[in-house]
Chains A and B, each alone.
Chain A
């Protein structure tokens, strides 16, 4: 049979976002693949150059629609590096809490969408139900469920409310049981195992060469986790294991994310205990005025640092739910960044689509691309 190109996307149920996977098929067999992105490009990096430091936070929420707060912190860490500010310890712990809750909600929605891709409908709604509990937690301390605008240069906007830690512990107890249930649904299903084991193999060497990061890399038995290897925030004081799997296939990626969720629950518990014991401020005292509020009227500038604030480059990298995210901010002493560069893990993971897909069948595409966990908001920025 002759070969033909098929456009899977930009509007296609497999894509989970807006991108176009062009595949060349011979019958049902994939012989070539060419991903195309850019449909969600909003020029966030360019807009950053025209916004004051705190105004950029709003943009960062919109970068990724399932892990907004991860990008907030990424940007904040780079900005703090560029401006030379250290946040108080309690703020760092609240940030870690936010990261892990975000990882939970992101992985749960990944799980829900993934089983749906494979054709298993019921756990999709289980996942959405439980993710809502995590979003409720977010709502209780940031005021929003998706676009939080919670982090600030020099800390976080407000402390967690009274009774939050107990409420959060209850949700974690609930999730403990539900995570086991999720695993049972998939691991006891022969069809699920048939669909995922040995499918979409990307070995460690190839994955490193392709720049793959995150759960996809850890599923190839490479224990690289920025939280462990280059700890930021309060991660150095927190005890957790890096989840790895030696399958290098879709099943391995599923296992790694499942294990990561359990570790996230563990981290959240540690952070909650710490928060109960250590009250304190959540915002640094000496934050330069210009990053806090819109331009003050002339003559009212509180900090003389407003002019001639030290030039510098801020760099941060962190383990976002999808992989290694990096932000690079150049501060030229102005009110807004001279250049802000974001590295999205999904951008690179999609670029390697050819390596996952060739040799498999059309029916495997949702299973493989789903296991990569794409979020086009952050790939296109």
Chain B
């Protein structure tokens, strides 16, 4: 068991900076998820921890040792690849035991450990098959078994669920959570799927363009994004962004097309530390309500809005409308009764909204 630390790690591919001076710490036994859109550097980060890429600057530390120059095999890690990377010419048993044999573990112990893992992942009946005779989900479990059987200090997982169908993905996600609870091994998990990130991670690290944007518990990342990118990337449908003006006198408030919006006490306090001017207002779809359909929030702002489009999802309904010239999406219950072209009174739960600098995207509150 070990913690994993990255200290100012930078990786360049030619002129492209894939990972930019990134510092991060995964605690012992933690399930840390690296989340971000494709090309944000999350897989490169994982590969540097694995030793498959060497950092150009900075240190990778596993346990108490700097492992920059340590080859992958000596790092005591196991990795699960996106397309499983099972050895096609070997049986399931040989695939699982390959690493153990290379580390000269006695045959009896190899057999015992393979049997244990096979039982844990319900692979007993498939040990004599070769990978192409298995379904996607079974291959996935073999890949997991191969990682688990080594009893490594750290598990590294590179989008291991992305090749499974939706139903199997949910099922395997649950299994992963259970496995992590049973084994208690530090796990670093890469995904672009924010649902996976939120459900699996003890903490989530959100990356963009090689930078670490925010790291925190899933709830924290969702409720208190530190910048506009995180607010927009985490959550479905994504957060709405509305251009606003911040006025500071007499008390800090927002000005949306001439309409003054009062802020909560905490928000006012935070707004005092910045100058007045144009900012971007972040409003989650669930913080937009229709007047009269639910309780009024404590700090509320009301607008008239015309519905341009209604998306019926079954369990809920997404309503597309506009606010201060920006298209916004609102989450409503499945019983939502208005249709396209109707005008409704839109209520914003102001206390839960966020304000971002328009240029840097940093959060004011």
Q: Do A and B come from one complex?
A: no
Residues of A within 8 A of B (CB): none
> Which residues of B are in contact with A by a Cβ distance under 8 Å?
none
